[in-house]
C-alpha cells in the first residue's frame, strides 16, 4: 500500500506515533483511542517507507487474540507475514526451544499450567510433612509466582528471608518446587519469562543474536507488564534502543498478577530522551460517558494527565439506580435488557453486565434465566480445565515428554488400571533414591522387589505409552488423539455410561479433536510439542464468540480490552466496589487508586449507554451486608446522570478527594422524585415494581420478612424445593430479617434457608 494512502485517516497524534520511529517512544493511549491501529500502521510504515525488513521487527502483545489480529492487519497492509508478532510467553517459548540447553534444560521441555503446578505443590507439601490446614498450595504458589515476577530465584529467595520463619518454610518449598520442575524438564508459566531473562544474562552471545536481529521492538498494553517482562524488553531493545511501548496507566488493573504501574509511570527515567505522545481522541464512546470517566479518574494522583474526548458530542446520560436489595437490582437489569431488546434499542449481543466479584453473578443469572434471556459467563471454567480434556492432554504431554511426572501420575490410573497409591509411593521412593525420572522408574518397576505383581500392570501402561511415542513420529496430532481415545478405552468407557453428563464429556473430547485439526491445518509445521504449547498459551477471554446472540456477564477485570453498546455496572456500593479492605487502607492508597482505575475501565467499555446499579442490602457469605452508594458513583458530576439524588446528610462515606461531589440517594430507589422512564414494549420502572410486588410471596427482596401467617407450611409439614426435592420442615426460627427454615430433605440432607428465598411449596 502506498505510504500516502497508508497515512490517510490518522489524526495528528496517531500520525506522530506512526512516524516517530527512532529511539524510545511512549504512546499514552487512552481507552478507545485507536492504539492497535497506530501499532499496525507504525509497523507498515517501517516496512513500506523506511525499508526495514519484517524479520527485524518484533511486536509483543498480551493475548493470542490480539497477536493474531495484529498479524492479520499487518499482512493486509504490507502483504508480508515476516514480522515477529507474539505474546510474551509465546516469544519466550520460541527462544527457549532453541537455547534452553544453555541454562541446563533439555530443549524438549514441558510447560506446566496452573493445575499442573498445583498438583506438584500438593505432592511437595505431603512429602515435606507440612500441616495442610496451615500451609496451602495456593499460598506457596502465589508467593513463588510473585518472586519469579520480580526475578527472585529460589536461592536468592532463601538468602533474602533466611531469618524469617514463615518465609523460611516457603523458601524450602520453593527450592523443592524448582528441583522437581527441573527433574521433570518442565517450566511453569512464570519460568518462561524468568528463564529467558536468565538465558540472556548468562549467554551474551544469545542476547547479542536477538539484539542484532531486532532493530525495532514494540510492546502493547505496557501498563500491565511486571518486573520480569520489563527486564526482558529492556534487554531485547538496549542494543539499538528503538523501543516503542503503548499503554494507558489509567487502565493498569492487574497488580494482583504482578503488574507494576511504575514501569509506565517511570518510562522516561528508565529510557532517557524518550518521546511521549498522548492519544486522547476516543473513537468508542459518547462524550457523556467520557466525561464521566475523566471525572472519576482525575481523583487519582499517581497518573499521567490526559483527557479523553470525541467528535461524538452529547449522548444519553448515565443511568443510575439504587435498590433495596440485590434481588431487585438483578430483576431490574433483566427487565431492562429484555425491554431494550423488545423495543429494538439493543440486541442481546450488545449487552454486557460487569461486576466486581464472581459471586455477584449468581442472582443475575437466575433473573436472566427466569426472563429467558440467553447469556454467557466469561471467565468461568476454561475449556482446557475440564476433566476429560486435561486427561487426554496429559496423555499427550507424557508422549511428548516422559519426564513430566505430574502428567504421568495423572493418567497412570485413567482409566482405572488397579495401580494403587502404595505402589506409586514405592515407585516414587525408588526414583528419588536412584535419581531417575519417575517414568523411567516405572519402566524398571520389575527390578523393585516390593512392587510384586503390580509390576505387570505398570508394564502394560509403559508399553502403551511407548507405543504412542512410536506412533507419534508418523501421526498427526488429531490421529494421535483418536488413537489414545481408542487404545486406552477412555471414550468407550464414557459411551458405556449412557448418561447426559458422559455425552457432554464426549462432546468436549470431540471439540478437543476439532482444535487439533484446526491447529494442524493452520500451522506451517505442526508438531505435538507445538500443539501443547498452543493449548497452554490460550487465554479464556480469547474464546468469546463476538457474533453470538447472548448477553455477556463478566468481572470488570475480564472486560478490559472489550467494548459493548450497552453496559451495566452492578454492585456499585462502598464495601463491594471499592471493597472494605481498600476503604480501610485509606482514600489515598495505591489500592484505592487501582480500584478507581478498574471503575474507569468499566465506564469506558460502554459505547452508547451505561447503567450503574447499587443495592442497599446484599447477602455476602450468608450474612446481610448494608452499604451506601459507591464513592466512585459520587465522583461523576450530577449533570451527567439520570437517576436518584443523594442527600449528603444521609451518608458521609464518600471520598473526600473528589473535586465534584454528587448527590445520589442512599435512602430511596428513585430519590423521592418522580422518575418513570419507559423502556419499550410496556416496560417501565413502575410496572417493574408492580411485577415485583405481584410475585413477592414467591421471591421477596432481601430484608422483606414474610409474616408467619403467610407461610403455608409449619414445622412437621412435607414440602418441595425446586433443587433439593421433597423433605420435612424440622424447624422455623424467627431471624432478624426473615424466618430461617430448616428442612430435612429426603436425598439432599438437612438444609437451612431463608423463607423469602426458599420458595418451598407444601405437599
Catalytic residues: 35-36, 220-221, 251, 605
The CA distances from residue 136 to 46, 118, 150, in Å, are 51, 10, 22
What is the distance, to the nearest Å, from the Cα of residue 342 to the centroid of all Cα atoms in its chain? 32
Decide: 704 and 326 in contact? Cβ < 8 Å: no
Tell me the C-alpha distance between 745 and 729, whole Å. Answer: 9
Distance CA 529, CA 212 (A): 28
CA nearest to 581, candidates 590, 571, 568: 590
Cβ proximity of 364 and 452 under 8 Å: no
Beginning with the edge strand found earlier in the chain, give each strand of the sheet holding 761-762 in spatial order: 749-754, 739-745, 725-734, 718-721, 761-762
Coil, strand, or helix at residue 85? strand
255 burial level (CB within 10 Å; 0-12, 13-18, 19+): middle
CA distances 55 to 58, 73, 217, 290, 688, Å, are 8, 16, 11, 39, 60
Q: Is 717 helix (H, G, I), strand (E, B) or coil?
A: coil
Q: Which ranges in 154-286 belong to alpha helices (H)?
A: 154-160, 165-183, 189-202, 204-213, 227-237, 262-265, 267-270
Residues 417 and 488: beta-carbon distance below 8 Å: no
Cα–Cα–Cα angle for 578, 580, 583, rounded to 5 degrees: 65
Rounded Cα distance between 234 and 219, Å, is 11
741 half-sphere exposure, CB direction, 13 A CA radius: 28
> Mutual orientation of helices 326-343 and 685-694 as an angle, nearest 10°?
130
Tell me the C-alpha distance between 665 and 321, whole Å.
9
CB 249 within 8 A of CB 304: yes
Beta bridge partners of 727: 719, 745
Q: What angle do CA 234, 240, 244 make, to 5 degrees?
A: 60
- CA–CA dist 491, 700 (Å, integer): 47
Residues listed for the chain? 763
**Residues 172, 128: contact at Cβ < 8 Å?**
yes
Amino acid at each position: 500500500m502506498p505510504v500516502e494512502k497508508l497515512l490517510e485517516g490518522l489524526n495528528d497524534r496517531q500520525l506522530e506515533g506512526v512516524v516517530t520511529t527512532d529511539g524510545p517512544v511512549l504512546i499514552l493511549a487512552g481507552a478507545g483511542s485507536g492504539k492497535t491501529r497506530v501499532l499496525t500502521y507504525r509497523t507498515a510504515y517501517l516496512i513500506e517507507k523506511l525499508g526495514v525488513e519484517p524479520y527485524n521487527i518484533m511486536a509483543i502483545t498480551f493475548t493470542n487474540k490480539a497477536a493474531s489480529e495484529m498479524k492479520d492487519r499487518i499482512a493486509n497492509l504490507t502483504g508480508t507475514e515476516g514480522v515477529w508478532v507474539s505474546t510474551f510467553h509465546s516469544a519466550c517459548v520460541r527462544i527457549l526451544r532453541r537455547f534452553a540447553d544453555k541454562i541446563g534444560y533439555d530443549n524438549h521441555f514441558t510447560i506446566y499450567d496452573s493445575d499442573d503446578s498445583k498438583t506438584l505443590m500438593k505432592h511437595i507439601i505431603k512429602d515435606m510433612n507440612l500441616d495442610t490446614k496451615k500451609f496451602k498450595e495456593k499460598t506457596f504458589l502465589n508467593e513463588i509466582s510473585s518472586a519469579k515476577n520480580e526475578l527472585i530465584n529460589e536461592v536468592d529467595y532463601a538468602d533474602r528471608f533466611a531469618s524469617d520463619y514463615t518465609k523460611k518454610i516457603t523458601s524450602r518449598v520453593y527450592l523443592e518446587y524448582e528441583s522437581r520442575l527441573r527433574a521433570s524438564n518442565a517450566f511453569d508459566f512464570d519460568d518462561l519469562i524468568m528463564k529467558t531473562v536468565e538465558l540472556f544474562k548468562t549467554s551474551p552471545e544469545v542476547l547479542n543474536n536477538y539484539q542484532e536481529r531486532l532493530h525495532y521492538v514494540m510492546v502493547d498494553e505496557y501498563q500491565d507488564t511486571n518486573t520480569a517482562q520489563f527486564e526482558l524488553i529492556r534487554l531485547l531493545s538496549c542494543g539499538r534502543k528503538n523501543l516503542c511501548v503503548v499503554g494507558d496507566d489509567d487502565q493498569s488493573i492487574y497488580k494482583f498478577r504482578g503488574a507494576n504501574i511504575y514501569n509506565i509511570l517511570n518510562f522516561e527515567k528508565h529510557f532517557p530522551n524518550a518521546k511521549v505522545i498522548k492519544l486522547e481522541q476516543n473513537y468508542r464512546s459518547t462524550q457523556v460517558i467520557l466525561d464521566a470517566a475523566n471525572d472519576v479518574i482525575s481523583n487519582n494522583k499517581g497518573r499521567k494527565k490526559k483527557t479523553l474526548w470525541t467528535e461524538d458530542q452529547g449522548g444519553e446520560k448515565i443511568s443510575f439506580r439504587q435498590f433495596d436489595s440485590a434481588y431487585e437490582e438483578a430483576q431490574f437489569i433483566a427487565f431492562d435488557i429484555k425491554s431494550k431488546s423488545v423495543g429494538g434499542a439493543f440486541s442481546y449481543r450488545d449487552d454486557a453486565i460487569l461486576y466486581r466479584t464472581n459471586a455477584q453473578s449468581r442472582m443475575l443469572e437466575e433473573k436472566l434465566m427466569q426472563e429467558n434471556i440467553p447469556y454467557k459467563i466469561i471467565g468461568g471454567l476454561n475449556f482446557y480445565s475440564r476433566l476429560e480434556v486435561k486427561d487426554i492432554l496429559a496423555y499427550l504431554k507424557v508422549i511428548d515428554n516422559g519426564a513430566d511426572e505430574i502428567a504421568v501420575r495423572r493418567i497412570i490410573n485413567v482409566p482405572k488400571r488397579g495401580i494403587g497409591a502404595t505402589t506409586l509411593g514405592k515407585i516414587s521412593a525408588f526414583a528419588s533414591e536412584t535419581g531417575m525420572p519417575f517414568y523411567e522408574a516405572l519402566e524398571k518397576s520389575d527390578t523393585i522387589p516390593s512392587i510384586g505383581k503390580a509390576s505387570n500392570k505398570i508394564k502394560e501402561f509403559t508399553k502403551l505409552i511407548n507405543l504412542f511415542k512410536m506412533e507419534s513420529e508418523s501421526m498427526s496430532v488429531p490421529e494421535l488423539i483418536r488413537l489414545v481415545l481408542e487404545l486406552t478405552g477412555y471414550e468407550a468407557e464414557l459411551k458405556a455410561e449412557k448418561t447426559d453428563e458422559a455425552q457432554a464429556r464426549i462432546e468436549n473430547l470431540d471439540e478437543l479433536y476439532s482444535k487439533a485439526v484446526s491447529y494442524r491445518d493452520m500451522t506451517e509445521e505442526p508438531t505435538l510439542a507445538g500443539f501443547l504449547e498452543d493449548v497452554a498459551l490460550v487465554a479464556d477471554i480469547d474464546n468469546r464468540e463476538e457474533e453470538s446472540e447472548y448477553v455477556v456477564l463478566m468481572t470488570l477485570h475480564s472486560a478490559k480490552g472489550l467494548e459493548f453498546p450497552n453496559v451495566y455496572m452492578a454492585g456499585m456500593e462502598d464495601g463491594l466496589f471499592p471493597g472494605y479492605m481498600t476503604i480501610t487502607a485509606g482514600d489515598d492508597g495505591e489500592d484505592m487508586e487501582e480500584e478507581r482505575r478498574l471503575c474507569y475501565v468499566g465506564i469506558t467499555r460502554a459505547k452508547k449507554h451505561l447503567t450503574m446499579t447499587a443495592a442497599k442490602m446484599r447477602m455476602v457469605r450468608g450474612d446481610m451486608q448494608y452499604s451506601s452508594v459507591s464513592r466512585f458513583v459520587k465522583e461523576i458530576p450530577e449533570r451527567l446522570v439520570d437517576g436518584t439524588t443523594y442527600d449528603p446528610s444521609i451518608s458521609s462515606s464518600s471520598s473526600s478527594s473528589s473535586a465534584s461531589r454528587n448527590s445520589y440517594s442512599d435512602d430511596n430507589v428513585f430519590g423521592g422524585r418522580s422518575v418513570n422512564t419507559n423502556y419499550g414494549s410496556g416496560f417501565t420502572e413502575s410496572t417493574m415494581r408492580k411485577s415485583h410486588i405481584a410475585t413477592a410471596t414467591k421471591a421477596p427482596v432481601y430484608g422483606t420478612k414474610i409474616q408467619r401467617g403467610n407461610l403455608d407450611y409449619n414445622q412437621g409439614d412435607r414440602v418441595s424445593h425446586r433443587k433439593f426435592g421433597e423433605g420435612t420442615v424440622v424447624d422455623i426460627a424467627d431471624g432478624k430479617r426473615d424466618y430461617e427454615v430448616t428442612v430435612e430433605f429426603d436425598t439432599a440432607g438437612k438444609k437451612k434457608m431463608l423463607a423469602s428465598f426458599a420458595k418451598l411449596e407444601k405437599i
